[in-house]
Amino acid sequence: MLTTPLLALTLALIPSLVTAAIFPEGTTVKMLDAKGFKKVMKANETSMIAFVAPWCGHCQKMAPEYSKAAKALHPLLPTYAVDCDAEKNKRLCAEQGVQGFPTVKLFRRGDQMPPISYNDGERKAGAFFYWASQRVPRFVKKLYHVEELKPWIEESATSPKPRALLVTKEKDMPLLWKVLANKYSGDIDFVIHRNRKGKGSRALGYKSAEKIPLVLIYPPGETRAIRYDGPNKLEPLSKYFDTIVDGTVDWSIPEEPTVEEDMSGEDASTFEAETEADEIVIDSPATPTASEPEPEPTEEGVEPEPEVVGESLTAEPGESAPEQTVVEIVTEEPEEEEAESPEIADDAETEQVVLDTPGEPRPVDEL
């Protein structure tokens, strides 16, 4: 029989043990408390957060699918969870308008934009992946035609900000490029051009880059570019862009080719508007009922907010809302914050998930 002190300790540990068990072992989902939540909001990046309760059956059923989506989104979109049953998190959950479990929200740029609630029906990995990846703010300018390259280079040279141009043969905009543009919005202008049959890279003078992503950095006031030659992954690209932002980058312009006058007879009429939707194939994929139209950018360079169903658990007419366990959350008086914030749990070391895209499989964290 357990002694009284040991029994008390065991009962105190039960909530944390249940919380840890709700997500599979090795998950990339990180648990947050109120202080960890504040850190995430200050990061100004897109993140997905699930507000759950360990005793909730719907949460337990969702956890494996949510964890699978988190693994596929890693490391581009951090994925978190908050245990609203824990006493220390009840005020946070109330502030976030949590009225039932599970509640999943996407914070598009930390606390700089209103969060979007997940009300798409099924709680499957593919549905979470598609929903989150398609709602990263798009601070990327598109140059559809080869003829647009030279005028853009010359006109944008008047900008006080450096410009980052991605020339790629991919039809869909890489999620990595959208994530980087969101992260460095305000410091670097991001642009993309689809390299159809290598015409774009040849027009820029890079004939050997017809089939590989070409990342060109234009310093402020310059029409000549510096070619980035590092790995096209989130971490090395972020480190490079950090040097641009903090001013430690080497702006020495190498002897690189400039834009050629001859655009190889490119006929602009052959270009069709590119879709923004990244077609994702994953276990239990989400199949959208219709293609989402490309939103018109606002003056700030971000597309209008998608229409979001309110925090009410009631479904719109003709639609079925995800099942939730409705509870009443009691808001308690705020306690005095501790001097130091607890650190967020480290990422679990897991293999990169490869998603099927039109063409051949490729990792998410790659241009």
Angle at 276 between CA 198 and CA 280, to 5 degrees: 95
pLDDT attached to residue 21: 66
- Beta strand 189-194 with 163-168 is parallel
CATH class for the domain made up of 14-136+279-295+303-333+341-363: alpha beta
Residue 56: its H or E element: none
Q: pLDDT tens per residue, the chain (367 residues)? A: 444 444 444 434 444 434 446 999 999 999 999 999 999 999 989 999 999 999 999 999 999 999 999 999 999 999 999 999 999 999 999 999 999 999 999 999 999 999 999 998 799 999 999 999 999 999 999 999 999 999 999 999 999 999 999 999 999 999 999 999 999 999 999 999 999 999 999 999 998 777 889 999 999 999 999 999 999 999 999 999 999 999 999 998 876 555 544 444 443 333 333 333 333 334 434 434 344 444 444 444 444 444 333 333 333 334 445 566 555 544 444 444 443 333 333 333 333 333 333 333 345 788 8
**Mind spelling out the 3-state secondary structure of 276-326?**
CCCCCECCCCCCCCCCCCCCCCCCCCCCCCCCCCCCCCCCCCCCCCCCCEE
d(CA 163, CA 158): 11
Rg (CA), the chain: 23
Q: Which residues pair with 50 in a beta bridge?
A: 81, 104
| pTM more than 0.75 | no
Neighbours of 62 (CB within 10 A): 23
pLDDT attached to residue 16: 41
d(CA 107, CA 113): 7
Angle at 313 between CA 334 and CA 119, to 5 degrees: 105
d(CA 305, CA 315): 20
Domain ranges of the chain: 14-136+279-295+303-333+341-363, 140-262
d(CA 324, CA 328): 13
d(CA 182, CA 186): 9
Same fold, 14-136+279-295+303-333+341-363 and 140-262: yes
Alpha-carbon distance values, 282 to 62, 134, 337 (Å): 16, 15, 42
Which of the following CATH numbers is that of domain 140-262: 3.40.30.10, 1.10.645.10, 1.10.630.10, 3.40.50.1220? 3.40.30.10
